[in-house]
């Protein structure tokens, strides 16, 4: 069974550079997760309270019989639980659902907070203080954020005492926020990318198809290899065991510099991430564009 390379965080912990993402609305398969852990060498699994599968993941981990110390488990704090005390309670609840005594990485899921009468910055700072204490107590071995932009990170640097260990953001050939990546790296914040296949939109791009033929691999492997070769922590999602195995087989080849450059030229700024929220979630997530209850998250909308 193969062992994946790691990225060292600012606190010297090592996170596997390749993990398995999960999601809501059919984005979780018990059998697929057990297969990934037992047969593919996956040791890094990403989830969130919002996805509704923490308890299911806990059962999959238990069935896999992979020792807890060998695993890297990430989950996320939903904005509806932001605030000092509520964040601590939410962390405890996530740990209980997952059946673990500690989390390897706990992330604030979004920068927008939408607490009436309070600024986003104040709520982020208060919430971050709770995460810092959870980190100091060892209940979270590392703490971080997701979907934060440079201004949000600059504010946390001023308001907190620990910089996030990780920032998890959409990253794929069509969405390459290199200014954010470089800022994170300059501040010791590891960059983690989700949606590495652009929700399948990258798989039929002519260049990627051509490279797949050249390297005798799949289009998904080209995308994942490109992200990993850029030293981006990468968490492709799949509920199909054969696809998970395929996604893990990206360490036996290397893209040539000219092909890396060609892939980097595919950036067109598009975002592919979107999800459906209930009415109460709309209120808690804040200033987002609503179109028939489908929320498409767009970076310029995040402010304050």
Residue 274 dihedral angles phi and psi, to the nearest 5°: -160, 155
Of the residues 28, 51, 106, 194, which is catalytic? Answer: 51
Task: Give the number of other Cβ atoms within 10 Å of residue 175's Cβ.
Answer: 20
Distance CA(234)–CA(191), nearest Å, equals 9
Burial class (CB in 10 A: 0-12, 13-18, 19+), 268: exposed
Beta-strand pair 14-16/6-8: antiparallel
Indicate the SS3 state at residue 8: strand
Enumerate the known binding-site residues for substrate. 109
Question: Could you tell me the end-to-end alpha-carbon distance of the chain, in angstroms, rounded to an integer?
Answer: 47
Residue 51 designated active-site: yes
Torsion of CA 206, 209, 211, 212, to 10 degrees: 180
Q: Which residues of 22-35 are buried (b: 16+ CB within 10 A; e: fewer)?
A: bbeeebbbeebbbb
Return all residues near 287 (Cβ < 8 A) that are at least 6 apart. Answer: 112, 114, 301, 302, 303
Enumerate the known binding-site residues. 109
> In terms of Cα–Cα distance, which of 203, 258, 193, 256 is closest to 227?
193
DSSP H or E segment with residue 6: strand 6-8
Residues annotated catalytic, as ranges: 51
């Amino acid at each position: 069974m193969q062992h994946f390379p790691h990225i060292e965080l600012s606190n010297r912990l090592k996170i596997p550079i390749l993990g398995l993402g999960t999601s809501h609305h059919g984005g979780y398969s018990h059998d697929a997760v057990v297969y990934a852990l037992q047969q593919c060498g996956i040791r890094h699994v990403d989830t969130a309270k919002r996805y509704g599968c923490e308890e299911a993941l806990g059962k999959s981990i238990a069935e896999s019989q992979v020792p807890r110390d060998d695993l890297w488990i990430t989950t996320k704090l939903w904005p509806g639980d932001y605030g000092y005390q509520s964040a601590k309670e939410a962390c405890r609840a996530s740990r209980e659902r997952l059946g673990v005594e500690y989390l390897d990485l706990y992330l604030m899921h979004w920068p927008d907070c939408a607490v009436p009468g309070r600024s986003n910055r104040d709520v982020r700072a208060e919430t971050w203080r709770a995460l810092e204490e959870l980190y100091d107590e060892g209940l979270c071995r590392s703490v971080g954020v997701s979907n934060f932009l440079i201004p949000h990170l600059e504010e946390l640097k001023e308001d907190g005492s620990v910089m996030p260990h990780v920032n998890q953001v959409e990253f794929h050939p069509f969405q390459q926020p290199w200014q954010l990546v470089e800022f994170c790296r300059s501040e010791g914040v590891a960059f983690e990318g989700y949606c590495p296949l652009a929700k399948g939109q990258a798989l039929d791009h002519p260049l990627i198809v051509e490279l797949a033929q050249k390297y005798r691999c799949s289009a998904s492997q080209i995308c994942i290899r490109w992200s990993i070769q850029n030293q981006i922590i990468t968490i492709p999602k799949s509920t199909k065991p054969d696809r998970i195995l395929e996604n893990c087989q990206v360490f036996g080849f290397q893209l040539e510099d000219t092909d890396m450059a060609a892939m980097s030229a595919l950036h067109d700024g598009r975002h592919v991430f979107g999800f459906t929220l209930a009415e109460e979630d709309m209120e808690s997530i804040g200033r987002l564009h609503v179109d028939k209850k489908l929320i498409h998250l767009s970076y310029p909308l995040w402010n304050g």
